[in-house]
Amino acid sequence: MIRLLLLLCMGVATSPLHAEDAGPLRLQTAIDLAIKTDPWQIRSTFRERALTDQAVAAAALPDPRMSVMAANFPTDTFDIQQEPMTQVVVGVSQMFPRGNSLMLARQQKNQLSLQEPMLRADRQAKVRSVAAQLWLDVFKAQESIRLIEADRDLFDQLADAALVSYSSAFGRTRQTDLIRAQLELTRLDDRLTVLHQQLQSSQRRLSEWIGVEAINRVSPSLPTQPVNADLEQLLAASIDNEAFYEHIRQHPALIAVDRRIDAQTTGVDLARQKYKPEWGLAAQYGYRADDPSGRERADLFSVGVTFDLPVFSRQRQDKEVSAALALTDAVRAEKDLIARQLMAELRSVLVQAQRVSQRQTLYATQLLPQMADQAEASLAAYDNDDGDFAEAVRARIAELNAKIDSVAIAVEGLQLSFRLDYLVTKALASDERMLP
C-alpha cells in the first residue's frame, strides 16, 4: 500500500506545472516589458536630441550688438545745434570667434551625441540580461515550491500509513517513525515558507523593471537559449588576452567611450584655438544737426576692427590645453578599465558556465536516476520488512533535494548564458538581439 502511494506521488512530483495556468509570464514577455518601459532609454533619447540641437547652436555666430547714444552734448544748454561735435550715434558690432572654434564646437557636440545610441544599445543588452536573471530567480523559487508541495502530499500519505501500521497489532512501525514523519513534514513547511519569501522577494525585484506583471506566475518550463557561435569558440579553447579582447572590442559600452574620446580630442583642438585672436568688426553712424546759423553739417561714419592679444598664454591657454589633454587621457584610461572589467567577467562566467554544464550532465545522466533508484529500493526494502522507515524517508528527501538542486543548476546555466550574451554583445547588432 505504501509502495503504491509512493509511486503515485512520485508521478505527481515529476510532472510539470499545468500549462493551462491563467496568463503565465513568459521570459520573452518579461524582457520585452523591461526594455519597452525602461525610462533610461527615454532619457538617453532626449539627451541625444539636446546635444544635436546644441551642435547647431554652437556653430552659429554670436548675435551682433547695436548701440544708440547721444555723444558730446554741451552740459550748459544740451542744445544739439550748439557744438559741431554733438551727434546722435547709431552703431553695430559683430564678434568673430577664434580660429575654427565654431566648427570644432559643433563637431564636439555631434561626437558626444553619437555616444547615446551606443549607450542605449549597452543599456538594452544589460536590461535584457537583468530581466532574464530576475525572471529565472522567480522560476527557480516557483518550481522549488511545486516540487516540495508535491512531495509534501507524499509525506502526508507516508505519515498516515505509518500511523495505521503503528496502530495495527501486526504493524512493525515504531513511535520514532511517526515522530520522524511528522518532523519531515515540519521541515518541508519551513522550507516552503522560506521559498515563498524568496519568491515574493524575486517578484518585487522584477517589478522594478516590468511593473505589476511581475506578480503573475511565470511559465512552467525553462526556455531554450540558442548557443552563440562566439561562445562555442570561447568555450572550446584557452584564449589569450588579445583573442578575448577581439570578442569584446565591439561592445557598445566601449564604442560609447570611443565617441567620448573623439569628443575630448576635439576639445583639445578647441582649446588650442585660444592661441588665436578673437576678431570684432564695428561700424557707427553719427547724425549732426545744422549749426545755429542754419548751415548744414556733415554726418559722420566710423568703422573699425578689434582683436585681442593672447600674449599671457602660460597661465591661461597653456593650462587649458594641458587640461584638455589630461581629460582625454582620463577617458582613454576609463576605456582600458571597462575593457579589463569585461574581459575579467567574461573569463569568470566562462569558467562558471563550463562547471555548470558539467554538473547538468552529471545530474541528468547519473545523480537523478541514482537518487530515484535509491528511493525506490529503500521503500521496497521497507515494504518487505527488510528496511528502515527512517532510511526510506531519508532517501526520498535526498531525491527531492536532488530535483531542487537540478532546477537551481539549470537556472544558473541560463543566467550565465544571458550574462555571456551581454558580454559579447556587438554594437551594430545589439538593438536586434532578442530571444526567438
**For the segment 354-375, what is each residue's pLDDT rounded down to a tens digit?**
889 889 999 999 998 988 888 8
Q: Please tell me the distance from the alpha carbon of residue 411 to that of residue 430, in angstroms, as a whole number.
A: 24
Q: Which has more pLDDT, 364 or 81?
A: 364
Ramachandran angles phi, psi of 227, nearest 5°: -85, 130
Q: What is the pTM of this model?
A: 0.79
- Nearest CA to 97 out of 105, 88, 85, 107 is that of 105
pLDDT at 429: 44
Q: Which residues contact 145 (CB under 8 A, 6 or more apart)?
A: 192, 195, 196, 199
Question: Would you state the pLDDT for residue 9?
Answer: 36
Distance between CA atoms of residues 404 and 390, nearest Å: 21
Contact 228, 420 (CB under 8 A): yes
Compute the average pLDDT of residues 287-291: 85
Round to whole Å and give the CA distance between 299 and 288. 5
Going by pLDDT thresholds of 50, 70 and 90, the confidence category of residue 75 is confident
Domains and CATH numbers, the chain: 2-432 (1.20.1600.10)
Distances in Å between the Cα of 101 and the Cα atoms of 106, 244, 330, 338 are 9, 40, 23, 32
The model's pLDDT over 232-249, given as tens digits with 9 standing for 90+, comes to 566 554 556 677 787 888
Return the pLDDT at 17: 36
Q: Exposed/middle/buried for 275, CB within 10 Å: 0-12, 13-18, 19+?
A: middle
DSSP letter for 224, please. Answer: P
pLDDT at 259: 95
Phi, psi at residue 89, to the nearest 5°?
-110, 130
- The DSSP result for 275-301, as a single string, is GSPPEEEEEEEEE-PPPTT------EE
- Beta strand pairing status for 300-307 and 65-71? unpaired
Is 93 strand, coil or helix?
strand
pLDDT over threshold 60, residue 403 = yes
**What is the pLDDT at residue 310?**
75
Q: Which DSSP state fits 162?
A: H
User: What is the reported pLDDT for 332?
Assistant: 95
Q: What pLDDT score was predicted for residue 249?
A: 87
User: Grid coordinates standing for 189?
Assistant: 513547511
Mean pLDDT of the chain: 82
> For the CA atoms of 45, 50, 55, 57, what is the dihedral angle to 10 degrees?
150
Check if the beta carbon of residue 417 is closer than 8 Å to that of residue 225.
yes
Helix (H, G, I), strand (E, B) or coil at 332: helix
Backbone angles phi, psi at 169, to 5 degrees: -70, -25
Sheet arrangement for strand 279-287: 65-71, 87-96, 279-287, 300-307
Mean of the pLDDT values across residues 277-298? 88
